[in-house]
A and B are shown apart, each in its own frame.
Chain A
Amino acid sequence: MPASRSESVSYSNANASQAILRTVDLGVSFGGHQAVNAVSTSFHGGALTAIVGPNGAGKTTYFNLISGQIAASQGEVWLSSENVTALSVSQRARKGLGRAFQLTNLFPRLSVLENIRLVAQSMQSGRHHHGFDFWRIWSDAADLIEHATDILRSVSMAAQLGDPVATLSHGDQRKLEVAMLIAMNPTVYMFDEPTAGMSADEVPVVLDLIRDLKTHSHKTILLVEHKMDVVRDLADRIVVLHNGQLVADGEPAEVINSDIVQEAYLGTRGGARRGLM
């Protein structure tokens, strides 16, 4: 059996001291509807946690609360030892929360290289932090261009670096989003349905990129995903949300086979497990 909600909370709290990301009683309501209800859990480095649940479970809203797109009605978000609940989206991004969206979130009239470079530069610290490198022209920033090109090489997009983003295929745009996240070099990678809308032959490319991130970096990766085969393939841990509440949290095999997940997904207890396998 996976941990129940109360068990998972105590599990998370027990490990809270080493947690990279923590949410404490995090929630939001819209009118009378509690979209996310007091979710407390923590996420650790070097692990990929899949956040699953049926449509309307509150997964994307939970992501929005963590990344700051939506202000929380209750609770807190902690990044390492810092409470980031009051910070804006851009401040949280600079602190290390990197977020990719369900819908591609790119700069369509800039080239592929410019998109990556923009992200890499916005993450710079020191005297360039606020962008007042007034005299530094494009051709002077060879190091940034090289860095951006390296990232594009790592996602097999070096050949497209001069292409306008709006002319890329949907799959390439998702790849570019992953590349932009890599350019941010965040502490926490947040992927919201990274394979949504992709053709069958494009899906493995993006999944391989995420797998590479998981293998070669010691980062915290959060993944919202509907496709259970993808979750089974990538996840080290699964957190299940249902009606805005955390209902299960544990190892993938036991969570997927648990009655609570079967009921949440299929409306049946114990039966039809094959559908989720």
Chain B
Amino acid sequence: MSTIAKEAHTASHQSTSGVSRHRRDWAAFAVIVGILWCLPLSLGGFYLYLGLAVAIYAISALGLQIMVGLAGQLSLGHAAFMGIGAYTSVLLQKNAGVPFPAALAAAALAAAAAGLLMAQLIRLSGVYFKIATFGFGVVVHQILSNWTALTGGSAGVRAIPAIGVLGFQIETRTGLFVCEALTLTLLYALLIRLSHGKIGRAFRALGQNEAAARSVGIAVARYRMMVITLGCAIAGIAGAYLPHLMRFLSPESFTWYESLTCLIMITLGGLGSLPGAIIGAAILIVAPEYLRDFAQYKMFAFGILLVASMILLPRGIAGAGMSLSRGKRMHAQ
């Protein structure tokens, strides 16, 4: 198949009218949020733990999805911004007694500021930007590992305080899950609204044809800054929840491997698809828990999974599901 034919084939699947895509996204939202809220809470125990981890990485993957899948700004340092959010939130709670909601907001702001700084400093496009984001991620990891006085270095931060909201201390996993699931639900809904608004269309234009976006009056530089800042802020929010799940905070949770894992999540789920980001996060969090005997092969398996999904499911699981349902509809007609 020629490149043009492939593009047309992909487009014929991806592009439906805006209204039907909007409805489809809300339908997927209802299903995913329904499963998210029902399964971990009803099954409890280990499944609740899995639900907590899935929710955190789903939030992070949503942030990366709008950057990479929607706006085409491939970041290879996404975990660094989770790290900035995690340390900002925990240190504020632990050292300054800041309540969790304010610490969560500070985490988002700190990660957003770091994202903006990265975008401003780098000011590159294409492959140079991708390589620079990788470098930025490494630098942040080194700072977290070596600024011992503030971060505890590789020994990490222990005795993570419980989440306090409106005077209540949330010390159970169920309570933590409700907070996380609520955050994920709200963010997911906001991102659906965003992706179908003018900003979202500008992001998509930027991701598909930057020169064309510029020529029709879209302020490409501004939207690039905006999407990077937003994606990093969302990563910061995800990071703020991570220490409360792990009961421990270490720079090793924010390495290059974690960034790569986030990328595999959105690729496997379906680039450009918000539900795909959550599905990809769920698979990459749940599957290793059932394959603990092969833990040493985790990144090897993830690599194979990435290559296999690019070959067999280029539009990811969400895209394959969409094709299947479209095929069934056409067959029924």
Contact = CB atoms under 8 A, between A and B. Distances in A.
Same complex origin of A and B: yes
Interface of A: 67, 69, 88-91, 93-94, 99, 101, 105-111, 113-114, 117-119, 121-123, 128, 130-139, 161-167, 180, 184
9 contacts: A94-B217, A101-B215, A114-B17, A114-B201, A130-B222, A131-B199, A131-B223, A134-B199, A164-B12
Nearest to B214: A89
Given A67-B215, A105-B209, A105-B215, A162 B17 contact: yes
B14 A184 contact: no
B278 to A, nearest CB: 21
A16 to B, nearest CB: 26
Contact of B19 (A130, A135, A139): A139
A161 B7 CA distance: 18
B196 A109 contact: no
Among all A-B residue pairs, the 4 with the closest Cβ atoms: A164-B11, A164-B15, A166-B11, A93-B217
A167 B14 CA distance: 12
Given A90-B214, A164-B12, 5 more contacts: A89-B214, A90-B219, A109-B204, A164-B14, A184-B216
B12 A167 contact: yes
A165 B7 CA distance: 10
A117 B18 contact: yes
B3 to A, nearest CB: 10
A138 B18 contact: yes
Contact of B211 (A105, A122, A130): A105
Given A90-B220, A136-B198, A165 B11 contact: yes
A122 B218 contact: yes
B22 interface: yes
Contacts of B10: 109, 166
B193 interface: yes
Contacts of A111: 15-18
Interface in B201-250: 201-202, 204-205, 208-209, 211-223
A167 B11 contact: yes
Contacts of A118: 201-202, 205, 216, 218
Q: How large is the interface on B (under 10, 10 to 19, 20 to 34, 35 or more residues)?
A: 35 or more
Interface of B: 4, 7-8, 10-12, 14-19, 22, 193-194, 196-199, 201-202, 204-205, 208-209, 211-223
B17 A113 contact: yes
A224 to B, nearest CB: 15
Given A111-B15, A114-B15, A167-B8, A137 B214 contact: no
Contacts of A167: 8, 11-12
Nearest to B7: A166
Contacts of B214: 88-90, 93
Contacts of A108: 7, 11, 208-209
A71 B48 CA distance: 58
B216 A109 contact: no
A107 B205 contact: yes
A240 B271 CA distance: 47
Contacts of B22: 137-139
A133 B208 contact: no
Contacts of B199: 131-132, 134
Given A88-B214, A167-B8, A137 B202 contact: no
Contact of B201 (A121, A180, A184): A121
A129 B197 CA distance: 13
Contacts of B222: 130
Contact of B197 (A69, A101, A137, A161): A137
Nearest to A103: B211
B209 A107 contact: yes
Contacts of A163: 15
A134 to B, nearest CB: 6
A93 B201 CA distance: 18
Contacts of B204: 107, 109-110
B11 A133 contact: no
Contacts of B212: 105-107
A134 B17 contact: no
Contacts of A184: 216-217
B199 to A, nearest CB: 5
Q: Max chain B CB contacts within 10 Å: which of A67, A108, A109, A121?
A: A109
Contacts of A121: 198, 201
B216 A134 contact: no
Given A93-B217, A138-B19, A167-B12, A110 B208 contact: yes
Contact of B8 (A122, A133, A138, A164): A164
Contacts of B218: 90, 118, 122
A89 B193 CA distance: 28
B202 A131 contact: yes
A132 B193 CA distance: 12
Nearest to B13: A164
Q: Max chain A CB contacts within 10 Å: which of B16, B212, B222?
A: B212
Contacts of A162: 16-17
Nearest to A68: B214
Contacts of B215: 67, 69, 89-90, 93, 99, 101, 105
Nearest to A162: B17
Contacts of A136: 197-198
